[in-house]
């Protein structure tokens, strides 16, 4: 068994945006003495349990079939996303109804996903080191989006920033107390990233059209981590008709060296060249996406959704395209309509 350890080296300049990102990460590989410790530039990838690889399993969540890792009693998706066990199912549940049909089992597999009135409640574990990471990340979100973060005073739905073995978060408001874990190596930038998940953002490189923009180098991915790179686009859909470009500058984008086993890139541009990622600030695309979800009116019904982006709305992960909503089924993309909090086939 190979055991991998991510060691974060955090120079004081890590928070500055520049092309020569001073953040350097090292992957130390045990039981493989012939493998040198690699010094990887830009290995900006958040991981919930950096020291453990759990068993791979497949679950259904928000209408998506997700390959997840079962580790420490939790479902982990793409490294740092925690899937709530109570809302995941082993087989598909009905989330889209025929016209005129009466919805049932609304609580199964669903999440309301949105923070009401653009307000995110939070609390911070007293034992969390360097709480300024949280305050700085919150200030950044508030300065750039319509979201407001309010210290919890008895509200039942809230984010709880707490120490953990890595950096992790749930996607969207899942109901009740939801942890964002921050190991001591998780920077302010990683905290901005994890808050991005908590307000409803998925990873940029899992966009359905990502294969138009990037190339995955499967041979360089660590054993047992390859599922982190799958999307439902890999289920056969080529995504060609979606033209909005992938945002390499997104704070939700994996680095080219994510989960590399040999110091070689796992993700490049389609032409094989490297790109740089940043963990300094929300990109313009991130801000556009967040403000589409959380518009001035409180979110959820805003007409400003970005075409080509995925959103989790009323328990379903859907794609915005041509100002309409699409849901990916095994028969391909099908248009869906949202009515009174329930999705129907168009």
**Active-site annotation, residues:** 194
What is the three-class DSSP state of 19? coil
- Give least dist CB 46 to Zn ion, A: 5
Check residue 286 for interaction with Zn ion (CB under 5 A).
Answer: no
Q: What are 60's two structure tokens?
A: 């259904």
Identify which range of 50-58, 75-83, 115-123, 315-323 contacts Zn ion by CB under 5 A.
75-83
Q: Which of 201, 233 has the CB closer to Zn ion?
A: 201
Q: Which of 120, 277 has the CB closer to Zn ion?
A: 277
For the annotated binding site for Zn(2+), the residues are: 193, 197, 203
Identify which range of 61-69, 73-81, 153-161, 270-278 contacts Zn ion by CB under 5 A.
73-81
- Give least dist CB 34 to Zn ion, A: 31
Backbone angles phi, psi at 63, to 5 degrees: 80, 0
Binding to Zn ion in span 78-97, by CB under 5 A: 80
Separation CA 163–CA 180 (nearest Å): 8
Q: Which of 27, 180 has the CB closer to Zn ion?
A: 180
- Give least dist CB 33 to Zn ion, A: 32
Residue 270's contacts (CB-CB under 8 Å, 6 or more residues apart) are 212, 213, 214, 215
Check residue 46 for interaction with Zn ion (CB under 5 A).
Answer: yes
For the annotated binding site, the residues are: 193, 197, 203
Q: What are 31's two structure tokens?
A: 């039981």
Give me the residue label for tokens 């009515």.
339
User: How many C-alpha atoms does 232 have within 13 Å on its Cβ side?
Assistant: 20
Check residue 69 for interaction with Zn ion (CB under 5 A).
Answer: no
How does 316-337 read in b/e, with b if 16+ C-beta sit within 10 Å?
Answer: bbbbbbeeebbbbeeeebeebe
- Give least dist CB 299 to Zn ion, A: 21
With the CA atoms of 245, 336, 78 and 91 taken in that order, what torsion angle do they form, in degrees rounded to the nearest 10? -160
Strand pairing category for 24-29 and 4-9: antiparallel
Identify which range of 32-40, 76-84, 227-235, 307-315 contacts Zn ion by CB under 5 A.
76-84
- Give least dist CB 43 to Zn ion, A: 14
Separation CA 318–CA 335 (nearest Å): 9
Q: Which of 279, 336 has the CB closer to Zn ion?
A: 279
Q: Which of 4, 336 has the CB closer to Zn ion?
A: 4
Q: Nearest Cα to 179, choosing from 144, 128, 221?
A: 128
- Residues forming contacts to Zn ion in the complex (CB under 5 A) are 46, 80
């Amino acid at each position: 068994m190979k055991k991998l350890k991510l060691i974060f080296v955090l120079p004081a300049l890590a928070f500055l945006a520049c092309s020569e990102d001073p953040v350097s990460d090292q992957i130390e590989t045990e039981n493989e003495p012939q493998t040198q410790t690699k010094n990887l530039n830009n290995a900006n990838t958040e991981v919930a349990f950096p020291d453990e690889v759990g068993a791979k399993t497949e679950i259904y969540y928000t209408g998506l079939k997700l390959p997840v890792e079962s580790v420490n009693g939790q479902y982990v998706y793409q490294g740092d996303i925690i899937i709530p066990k109570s809302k995941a199912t082993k087989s598909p549940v009905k989330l889209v109804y025929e016209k005129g049909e009466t919805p049932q089992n609304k609580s199964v597999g669903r999440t309301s996903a949105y923070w009401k009135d653009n307000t995110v409640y939070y609390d911070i574990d007293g034992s969390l080191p360097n709480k300024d990471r949280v305050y700085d990340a919150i200030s950044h979100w508030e300065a750039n989006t319509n979201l407001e973060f309010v210290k919890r005073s008895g509200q039942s739905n809230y984010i709880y920033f707490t120490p953990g073995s890595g950096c992790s978060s749930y996607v969207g408001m899942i109901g009740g107390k939801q942890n964002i874990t921050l190991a001591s190596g998780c920077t302010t930038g990683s905290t901005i990233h994890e808050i991005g998940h908590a307000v409803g953002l998925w990873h940029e490189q899992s966009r359905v059209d990502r294969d138009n923009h990037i190339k995955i180098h499967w041979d360089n991915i660590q054993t047992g981590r390859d599922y982190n790179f799958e999307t439902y686009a890999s289920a056969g859909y080529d995504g060609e008709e979606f033209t909005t470009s992938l945002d390499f500058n997104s704070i939700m984008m994996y680095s080219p060296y994510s989960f590399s086993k040999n110091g070689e890139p796992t993700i490049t541009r389609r032409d094989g060249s490297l790109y740089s990622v940043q963990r300094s600030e929300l990109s313009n695309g991130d801000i556009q996406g967040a403000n589409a979800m959380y518009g001035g009116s409180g979110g959820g019904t805003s007409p400003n959704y970005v075409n080509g982006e995925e959103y989790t709305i009323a328990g379903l992960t859907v794609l915005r395209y041509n100002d309409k909503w699409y849901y990916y089924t095994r028969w391909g993309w099908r248009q869906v309509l949202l009515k009174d909090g329930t999705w129907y086939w168009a």
